[in-house]
Structure 1
């Protein structure tokens, strides 16, 4: 295409000169791929991949793709652009890598509970390979299904769910679930707040002494035991 245009032919001798103007039009030129001749694409398993093969040429090139190893998705893909004037090729190497593990539940959660309540904190990991799950408790200790907590009220099931029985305000804090595999890790953080409850005073005992009064007499002393208002 760069050669098209007007060309001037000039002939000269001692007796004079002559010239001829020629216009060159290029009606066909070979196919050319405008992408790099070799490139690499990495993608996680299950993702969608788009490979581009932009070309130019006259007539408009026909594009075809060839996968060297047809038994696997990963490998070398060759783009071929061709027209009557010629052909061009480019290669794309597709590398499929396993995605890091994921956790189905929401990554961050604020949870409020009452004293003595039993809680279940789910943590479902997924991925290839299947990730292992462990929890880091509010005090920094680690719990696995094969490594119980020192507190028998806390238990982790094989499906990743953490059970906390008879919670107390002292157990308020962050609980972190971590899913780990050879491809990476993912985590979920549950912030637990155990609310305190105030109770009204209760009369639990009265004096056993009999007190007799006549009409109009003044009551001076009454002995009553009161259970004070407590915070639970």
Structure 2
């Protein structure tokens, strides 16, 4: 079946009518006794494409985020939509939306600006941590952002520890993922431990306040003089040495 077809009853069928089909159509009927004709004017109603978004708009997004650009249109027939990126070598730049149908076309431009993401830390920004003496602790500090931030820790005594700069105390170690390990903690290590994530776009901090708890025990006598001391009547006991183990810390 072609675009135009004359049916048995004389009707002219036009498939998928568009603007190009508008105009005058002549119907001619004839037989041995004569002829007759009918002139029909076909008007195809169409609306040109129109984009319902602003003609120029700007979108800002951090690196790594998903971006959606809308291009809502109207028209009759339904417009065909296409996108053109002016600078094909980069993601950022001007994106042009083109809506077109046989009645006309419309355009709108979106300027995409990609900005660096400031550094962040996944773990909670402030944490109170209690530990027992001789316990081994792991303090995580996971940084994220674009560019990827560097991590370092400031210990309770103000000293700085990085993955490439170990602490003077060998019991303290920072891993490349930002986690700080403290082995065999003591009450003297109680205090604030600050993790700092830094990049060219800024910095972020996490503070862990560590309290190493102490446990006290009752005093015990651990050393005395000889168990048996002999004295004559009237003698003077000059010294008695007694060592007492006072409060002990476990």
Alignment TM-score, normalising by the size of structure 2: 0.65
Identify if the C-alpha distance between structure 1 residues 24 and 39 changes in structure 2 by more than 3 Å, giving closer, same or farther: farther
**Cα distance, 1:49–1:212 mapped onto 2, change above 3 Å:** same
Q: CA deviation at 1:185?
A: 2.3
The structure-2 alpha-carbon separation of the partners of 1:9 and 1:143, relative to structure 1 and needing over 3 Å to count, comes to farther
Alignment-derived partner of residue 126 in structure 1: 144
Evaluate the alpha carbon distance shift between residue 20 and residue 143 of structure 1 in structure 2; reply closer, same or farther with a 3 A threshold. farther
Note the alpha carbon deviations across 1:30-65, whole angstroms, 9 max, x for none: 222121111111111221111111222233322221
Q: What whole-Å deviation, never above 9, does each CA across 1:97-127 have from its counterpart, x for those lacking one?
A: 2222344555444322123444443334344
State how far apart, in whole Å, the 2-side matches of 1:4 and 1:64 are: 27
CA 1:54 to 1:211, structure 2 compared with 1: closer, same or farther past 3 Å?
same
Q: Deviation of residue 179 (structure 1)?
A: 0.8
- Decide whether aligned partners of structure 1 residues 29 and 212 sit closer, same or farther in structure 2, where only a CA change above 3 A counts: same
Gaps of 5+ in 2: 1-20
Which protein shows a greater Rg? Answer: 2
**Alignment RMSD (CA, Å):** 8.8
TM-score (normalizing by structure 1): 0.69
**Cα distance in 2, alignment partners of residues 10 and 173 from structure 1:** 103
Asked if the contact 2:136/2:184 (under 8 Å) is kept, the reply is: yes
**Which of 146, 154, 172 does residue 154 from structure 1 map onto?**
172
Q: Aligned residue pairs: how many?
A: 230
Distance 1:223 1:13, change over 3 A: farther
How many Å apart are 1:130 and its aligned residue? 3.3
SS at match of 1:47: coil
Contact 2:81 2:100 in 1 (8 A): yes
Q: For 2:127 and 2:25, how far apart are their aligned partners in 1?
A: 77
Question: Compared with structure 1, are the counterparts of its residues 48 and 222 closer, same or farther at alpha carbon in structure 2 (3 Å cutoff)?
Answer: same
Instruction: Give the superposition deviation at 1:197.
Output: 1.3
**Unaligned 5+ residue runs, structure 1?**
none
1:70 Cα deviation after fit: 2.6
Contact 2:136 2:182 in 1 (8 A): yes
